[in-house]
Each structure stands twice: as C-alpha cells, then as structure tokens.
Structure 1
Amino acid sequence: MAWESPLHKGVRSKPPKSKSLFGPNSTEWRSCHGPCLLRSCRAYSAPEVKFSVDRPGRASAVPMNIGWTTQPYNAAATVPARPPSCLSMPIANPMPKGAWLHHETDTVLGILGTAGDIVSGYFAKDTDVAFKNIDEPVTAADRECSAFITSSLRNVFPDDGILSEEEPDTTVRLSKERVWIIDPLDGTQEFVIGLPQFVIMVGLAIHGKPCLGIVLQPTSGLVYIGIPGMGAWVHRNGCTLPARAGHRNELSRMRAAVSRSHLTALMETCLDDAGFAERTRIGSAGLKAGLVAEDQADCWFHASIGLKEWDVCAPHAILEAAGATVTDCWGRDRRYNQADYHLRHGVIASNGRRHAQLIDHISRVCANHGFHGDNGFA
C-alpha cells in the first residue's frame, strides 16, 4: 500500500482546517500510522492559509482566521510575533543525572525550546525564499535558527567544533574531537508550502561517530532523542517514552519511509525491486528516521548525491540508539566531521533484520544505473 502527502505534486491552495499532520485529528497521519502515534500526540491548531507563488523565489501566504495568541520574541526585534512554542515548558531529560552526555542533552533541549519559537514564528507566514540551488530553498527561519543554535552551543561548549548548514564552514572543526552538526531547518520545501513536515536537528559527533542526536518538530512538539549505548526516546504531549526499532524480518512485510520532495526514479526502482509492503512519503530526514526508530517504518533510504552530514548525523545517532542499523548504500559505516561533508554514497537505515538483503537490492539497482561503491552518486 502506498501513501504520500496530498501536497507532493506542488503548492496547495488551502491546507485542511483540521489539526496538523501530527495532531490526533489528522486523517492522513491516522490512516498511515495507526493509533500508536495518536495516543500521546500533541494537537496543534494551524491557521487556515492560502498559498500562491507570485514570482520566482518567493512564496506568498495569506493567513485567514488565525487562532494563535501571538507574543513578541524579545531576543530579536526583527522576528514577527509568533505562536506559543510547543517547547515553552522544559522537556525532562530521560537520562539519569551524571550519565554520559546528560549535560549536553540538557543543554540542547533548552536551546531547542527557543529555536522552535524562532521557526514557528515564520511558519505559514509571507516568507521570502532564496535558492542555494534548484532544489534547496533557504529562508530567514533557516538562517536565524542556525545563528541562535550555533552561538548558544559556542557559549556553552567553546572548545567544540561546529558544522551547520547555514554557517560558513572552515577547517577548524577538523582538528576537534567533538563537533556539533546542525540542520536548523530540515524540510525547508515543506516549510515553505505550509506543510508541518520539517524539523530542527542537532547531532554531536565524537571522533567521527554519532554520539547524540536530538530532533524537534516545532509545530507539534514531537522530539526524538538518541544516544547510542544509552537508549532512544520519543517525546509527545508531555510524555517521554522509550523508542525501539521493530522486528519485521521479511521484505514483503516491511514498510519503507521515503522522501516527499526528493524521490527520484532510481529510488522508485529500488522500492519496486525490494518489494516493500508499504511506502510512506514524508518530508524531513529526521521524521523518516523517527518512524524507523519507533517501529512505524522498517526502512529509510536515500540513494542520491543530495545528502550532507547535517542531514544524517542526528538521525543516525537516534536510529543506532533505537537498535536500528545505518550504513551507506553499499553497506559501509558512516563517519562524520569529514573535510567533504557531502554524503556521496547515500544512506540506508533499517531495523537491521534484513539490512544485508536491502543493500543487495539497492546496490544492484544502483549498479544497473551506473552508480557504484567507489564513486557513489558523485
């Protein structure tokens, strides 16, 4: 059974009046993911918005019947009034005090509370959109969120390196043992058209290995936390529960999570070749990884040149902490904080039960299209 967002073919004139995709009244989410996700999912009332594109590089939104109670954001006067953050109240750190990376987890959760405010303040608003390339939009929300997260982390961890999508990269981080790898707004295409399939992702790599990952979906308050060797957790509606990848061990019964906006013909062929039982199209690498981490999907893969370290580091930590397996499309381990941050060999994440078989399917299809493990998708 295949499912995809109704917005996958372009800009929609009017989003539904129901709760967001992550709210309990969403028929889209319910039909695809069942009651497991609905028990503790936070409801989020989005304004009714009409979208149009009035000129290249700019999406125009006309809010109607807005029900938010807006309040100014004191830290930056240029930011528009914003809805109350889903993270205004602190999220309890699921790890015991004194545990490894407890302080880092506390710090990032606190930073994400304000970062979520920043991004939510721009969501479903008239927003200027620039393009880094043909399929990589960037907005003021990306840039402001990145500036806030990176400056906050530098204040607390001045000796650590930083790699963020929206900040200039230097070689300084290459000499650091610990490097924060940040995607301030993953799923910008979805963000621009008013679809709440976007996240903020913060990962910590130590000696090249993903050791901490935290992913926030700002409009719903959904949070994934993962520390390999310690555990993974999912937070909804004030409730934090352990996350664990599933146990399905037949490809014919496995569920694949794939890109809403970057699904190529090659990846379609990979899906057909593997014979997955279900396909879910959803924006944001963090949300796809989260589905695998909490057994709402069994596989997420991306066979393309488009990925960078900030797209995968935090999800990788969460997936590994949840018991999943993560490699490139040819089965090799992933290392972070590399001089070239492009992930030219894609990614496969699965519950681990048939990972080798998935690699066989995907690498064979890639070979048939001229892509091999030496050069990847470069």
Structure 2
Amino acid sequence: MPHIDVRDLTAVTALLVEAAREAGDSIAMRFFQEGHQTTAEVHAKLGGSPVTEADYAVDRFLHERLTSALPQAAWLSEETADSPARLAQHDVLVIDPIDGTRAFVAGLTTWAVSVALVSGERPVSGVVYAPALGKLYQATLGHGATCNDEVLATGERAEIAGATVAGPQTFVGSFAARGRMTYVEKVPSLACRFVRVAEGLYDVGISSSNAHDWDMAAADLILEEAGGLLTDGNGSKLAYNKAVPRHPPLFGSSRTLHPALLDLVNKTPRHKG
C-alpha cells in the first residue's frame, strides 16, 4: 500500500474509515450474532476481562493495513503487547479492535472498532465504527465530526437538572441524584458511550477510572469536533501516548454544560474507581 503523509489528515481519515469498515464488516461481523453468544472462541485476560479470536483477527488486520500506509507512526493497541519505543514517536496509531467485547460476546449491538491517529499527545484523526448498529462516526482535527456523513453537534443544554447521563451506575449515581440528572444506561463500549454524547443522544457520558488510550482517543476527537469536551474532574483534556496509557474518571458533555457538570462532580462525595 502507498505511504500516506501523517500531516495529510484528510487522507489519514479516509484510510482509517476504509480500514475500520473492512475490519468491522469482513472480520468482526463474521463472529457476531445479535441476541446470541458469539461464535468466536472467548478467553479471559489477566484481570478477568474477555478477549475473543475476533479481537485478535481485527487487530492483526488493522496492524497490517495501517502500519503499511503510515510506517512513521508507532502502534498502541489493546490486543498488542506494548512497547516503550512508541514514547519516542510524535505520531502513534491508537487502536481498540473491538471496544465493548463483553457486548460483542453477548450479542449486544453496542460495540465498535475504534481507530485513531494521535500526534503530540492529542488525537487528530479518529473513527468509531459500530457495524451492528450501522453507524460510522469520524472526525478530523479542525474539520468537524460526522455520523454516516451527517454533521454531528452536541446538545445545547446548560442546566444540569434533567440532563441525561450514561455511565456505570455505581459510580454515577451519587452526583446524578444530587444534580437531578436522568440516568440512561451504562453502554459497555466507552467509544459508543461518548460518541452518543457527540450526536446529542445523551447530554453526559462518564467513565470511572481505568479507561485507556485505546478506549478514548477516537471518541475524544469526535466529541470535541462535535462541539463537546472530554476532561478529567479538574477540566484537563486527556494526554495520550504516555508511559501508562490509563486515565482517571472522565466526563464528557457539550461545552455549554461542562462547567455545571464539573461543578456538580467536584462538590459531590463519590466512590473512587
């Protein structure tokens, strides 16, 4: 495959879209059965989270396709052994072959292929493809975000009372009740959870601690380009491609709602983790 200049973000995003579509449609969907257990072999990783042969197959395909076109970019994926060599690189491909593997295994549709290019610690191109939902979200830095080619925009709510919130209920519950927010659901895939905020389906998306770069990079850019913000509890944006690619609790919403959201979060005692 011809090489692509990482500075040509339009070409990079086109590559990520093509690769994510093929990975989702031609590989992951062969193992997926809506409403039924996957046909893929399922194994438990250290810590108990599942991984399937589909995760590995998608990972291998994306590695071959993307690194051949972008050889100057390092590689960071949930299903590939990490290398400290990436820390010396300005550009890194950040991949979750199947984000929401538990949903994929159980036959739920809320899982996605998540691919992003990070440059200088921030995502500049990102795609979240949810083939079982028929939705492809994409964003290029400075050029907005779309879902199935329709322009995305977060909601314009500024009041926290009545806002819909998606996240782990045990973590979200305390300040959602205090702020009189409406709890919607968790959504196992973090990428799916936060791109739904980008398209205005939820007002707020929240993750507890331990989200990783591969969970967040593409969705982070899509949300920001749709007019939203994804930050930690202090209001700081995520820095990617660090030695430990893991993050504290994260909060996503429209820019108009974000100050009220963080004010509520920081005034409410809550469980860690």
TM over 0.5: yes
Counterpart position of 1:57:
none
Q: Offset at 1:302?
A: 1.1
Q: Do structure 1's residue 107 and structure 2's residue 11 form an aligned pair? A: no
Stretches of structure 2 lacking an aligned partner (at least 5 in a row):
1-6
SS at match of 2:44: strand
1:153 corresponds, among 66, 71, 79, to: 66
Could you tell me how far apart the structure 2 residues matched to 1:361 and 1:133 are? 35
Stretches of structure 1 lacking an aligned partner (at least 5 in a row):
1-98, 372-376
Deviation sequence 1:77-120 (CA, Å, 0-9, x none) = xxxxxxxxxxxxxxxxxxxxxx9511101111121232011100
Q: Do structure 1's residue 252 and structure 2's residue 157 form an aligned pair? A: no
2:257 corresponds, among 354, 359, 377, to: 354
Once the two structures are superposed, the pairs formed by residues 1-378 of structure 1 within 5 Å of their partners are: 100-116=8-24, 117-124=26-33, 125-235=38-148, 240-258=149-167, 263=168, 265-304=170-209, 306-343=210-247, 345-366=248-269, 369=271, 371=272, 377=273
Q: Structure 1: which amino acid aligns with 2:211?
A: L
SS at match of 1:146: helix
Counterpart position of 2:3:
none
More helix by share: 2
Q: Is the 8 A contact 1:257 1:291 kept in 2?
A: no
Q: Offset at 1:356?
A: 2.1
Q: Offset at 1:277?
A: 3.3
- Aligned pair count reads 262
Q: Is the 8 A contact 2:169 2:186 kept in 1?
A: no
Q: Is the 8 A contact 2:128 2:219 kept in 1?
A: yes
Q: Offset at 1:274?
A: 2.5
Could you tell me how far apart the structure 2 residues matched to 1:100 and 1:321 are? 18
Could you tell me how far apart the structure 2 residues matched to 1:276 and 1:241 are? 28
Could you tell me how far apart the structure 2 residues matched to 1:251 and 1:104 are? 37
Could you tell me how far apart the structure 2 residues matched to 1:133 and 1:168 are? 13
Q: Offset at 1:185?
A: 0.4
- Higher normalized contact order (CA 8 Å, seq sep 6+, divided by chain length): 2
Could you tell me how far apart the structure 1 residues matched to 2:150 and 2:19 are? 21
Could you tell me how far apart the structure 2 residues matched to 1:126 and 1:115 are? 17
Could you tell me how far apart the structure 1 residues matched to 2:56 and 2:184 are? 32
Q: Is the 8 A contact 1:129 1:139 kept in 2?
A: yes
Q: Is the 8 A contact 1:224 1:290 kept in 2?
A: yes
Structure-2-length-normalised TM-score: 0.90
Identity %: 28
Change (3 A) 1:245 1:188: same
Q: Structure 1: which amino acid aligns with 2:15?
A: T
Could you tell me how far apart the structure 1 residues matched to 2:109 and 2:122 are? 30
Q: Offset at 1:221?
A: 2.6
Could you tell me how far apart the structure 2 residues matched to 1:266 and 1:255 are? 15
**CA RMSD in angstroms, aligned pairs only:** 1.8
